[in-house]
């Protein structure tokens, strides 16, 4: 007889999954980053695995942002972009993920000299190959790197509106939240342009700041889904609003631990968010950088937070429901989740 732990791990492995919050550069495996670092040895990233693992030990979120930008600087050609997409798709497909909304920060690629149409062509080709060769559907979210202010906002909106990939579904903002206030109007204008073009608003908020940032992404950016949102537990009125509107929250427990937003996984607010009836999804954020996977986040939910099969299946369903996949695609994955739970 398998142990209970073995049994729950087998269930998690078999569970069909959807990933809503994973960044393109942050999804790059160690081997891919090493390949890029050795290809571009003039860059700031170590070229040995031991040094790279040490490079990925983050003191805090600003340090993580520095490392992320350093890795981004290695992505210099459209072929590099496509390689990253296919690598992320391959890793997720191996975890029984059926669909991913991959966050791309196109402004960082523009700063490395890539033209908007070339980036878009690479993204389109990679999405087609992921579906044909790996059986996973890839959609994209363009996000503003908050640290780059007005220039980053305007360039990201222009790319999203004038040169969108076929599978572009959303528009977001990430980076260091404390740097956003001086550019609030610029960010609002960029989101208006993206929403007018039919894109969904999916900003990060409440990851490293208090509830005020979540209020801003809801009221100022028209958030339909929120990246992280964990500081909502500090504001009962905000939790009431999130529960009433059922705005999905993309929760990434291991990411929050690795960047110092929580001291210990046992202190993570996810159980409180569930108890309060909030719409929670599980996600990996930047998996190799944080030494996790999407499957690993479901294991954390089981082992640290004590969730059972039905609750894990509910989280998997939430991700499907919160996605921007077409209704037929959603129904197929939901049916497969029900089938695995019934077994």
How many of the other CB atoms lie within 10 Å of CB of 182? 9
- Cα–Cα distance for residue pair 52/75, rounded to 1 Å: 16
> Which residues does 12 contact at the CB level (< 8 Å), separation at least 6?
295, 298, 299, 302, 312
Is 219 one of the catalytic residues?
A: no
Residue with tokens 């919050």: 21
DSSP assignment of 268-293 equals: -SHHHHHHTT--EEE--BSHHHHT--
Q: At 27, list the tokens.
A: 């999804």
SS3 at position 47: coil
- Cα–Cα distance for residue pair 63/258, rounded to 1 Å: 11
Q: Which of 207, 216, 224, 297 is catalytic?
A: 207
How many of the other CB atoms lie within 10 Å of CB of 128? 13
Question: Taking a C-beta distance cutoff of 8 angstroms, is the pair 58, 259 a contact?
Answer: yes
Q: Which run of H or E residues covers position 229? A: none
DSSP assignment of 156-216 equals: HHHHHHHS--TTEEEEEEES-GGG-GGGHHHHHHHHHHHHHTTPEE--EESSSS-HHHHHH
SS3 at position 262: coil
> Which residues does 48 contact at the CB level (< 8 Å), separation at least 6?
34
Q: What is the 3-state secondary structure (H, E, C) of 84-102?
A: HHHHHHHHHHCCCEEEEEE
The set of catalytic residues is: 207
């Amino acid at each position: 007889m398998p142990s209970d732990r073995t049994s729950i791990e087998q269930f998690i492995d078999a569970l069909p999954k959807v990933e809503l919050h994973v960044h393109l550069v942050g999804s790059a495996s160690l081997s891919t980053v090493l390949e890029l670092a050795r290809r571009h040895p003039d860059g700031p990233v170590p070229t040995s695995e031991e040094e790279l693992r040490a490079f990925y030990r983050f003191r805090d979120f600003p340090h993580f942002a520095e490392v992320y930008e350093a890795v981004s600087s290695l992505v210099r050609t459209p072929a590099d972009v496509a390689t990253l997409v296919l690598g992320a798709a391959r890793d997720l497909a191996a975890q029984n993920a059926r669909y991913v909304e991959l966050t791309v920060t196109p402004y960082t690629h523009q700063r490395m000299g890539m033209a908007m149409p070339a980036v878009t062509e690479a993204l389109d080709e990679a999405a087609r190959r992921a579906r044909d060769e790996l059986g996973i559907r890839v959609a994209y979210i363009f996000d503003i790197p908050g640290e780059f202010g007005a220039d980053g906002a305007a360039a990201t909106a222009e790319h999203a509106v004038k040169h969108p990939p076929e599978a572009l579904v959303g528009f977001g903002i990430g980076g260091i939240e404390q740097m956003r206030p001086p550019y609030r109007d610029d960010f609002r204008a960029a989101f208006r342009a993206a929403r007018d073009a039919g894109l969904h608003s999916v900003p990060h908020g409440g990851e490293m700041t208090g509830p005020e940032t979540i209020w801003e992404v809801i009221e100022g950016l028209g958030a339909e889904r929120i990246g992280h949102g964990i500081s909502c537990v500090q504001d009962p009125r905000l939790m009431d609003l999130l529960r009433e509107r059922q705005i999905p929250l993309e929760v990434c427990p291991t990411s929050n631990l690795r960047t110092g937003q929580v001291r210990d996984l046992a202190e993570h607010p996810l159980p409180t968010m569930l108890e309060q009836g909030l719409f929670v999804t599980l996600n990996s954020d930047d998996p190799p950088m944080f030494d996790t996977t999407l499957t690993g986040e479901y294991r954390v939910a089981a082992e640290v937070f004590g969730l059972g099969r039905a609750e894990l299946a509910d989280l998997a369903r939430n991700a499907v429901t919160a996605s921007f996949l077409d209704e037929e695609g959603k129904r197929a994955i939901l049916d497969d989740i029900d089938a695995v739970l019934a077994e």
